[in-house]
Structure 1
Amino acid sequence: MTEPSPTLPAWAFVAIALVLLSQSTFLFLDARKRGSRAWLWGIWGLIHFPLPLVVYWIVVRTSWFRKKHR
């Protein structure tokens, strides 16, 4: 006999979808406001959490990165 594979409950899928969608929306809108490749950040935000948000914060939102690499 084989063991049943573990599955997530339906509410977990809904929670994951809401987190990814809200992250993607925030990244898209904020990047569009700042003129920083909104579609790239929005699509990347739909893929996984929280790496796109952390990288966006470092690359786009912090001033030390922009000053250092001008």
Structure 2
Amino acid sequence: MTRNIEGQPLWALILVVVILLCQSTWLFLDGRKRGCRYWFWSLWGLIQCPFPLLFYLIFARKVFRRAKT
């Protein structure tokens, strides 16, 4: 029922494509909203997962900021 493409089931390849597209779209939209090189983040998000998302959250969004005391 499922065809293999280079040893991978078709549903797994479709799942990977959907994850990469969702990640890239979110990086593009959020990067454009915040003005953080959105083309770079979205293109990188199309070819790899999850490192572009993690690096975006750390370096562009700076989610691990130190609290000002």
- The structure with the greater share of residues assigned to helix is 1
Letter of the 2:16 counterpart: I
Moved over 2 A (4+): none
Equivalenced residues, count = 60
Matching residue of 1:41: 41
Per-residue CA deviation, residues 29-63 of structure 1 (Å, 9 max, x unaligned), is: 00000001110000000011000000000011126
- The structure with the greater share of residues assigned to strand is 2
Aligned runs of 1:1-70 on 2, under 5 Å? 7-62=7-62, 64=65
Q: Among the aligned pairs, what percent are the same residue? A: 48
In the superposition, the TM-score normalised over structure 2's length comes to 0.81
Give RMSD over aligned pairs: 1.6
The runs of 5 or more residues in structure 1 that have no matched partner are 1-5, 66-70
In the superposition, the TM-score normalised over structure 1's length comes to 0.79
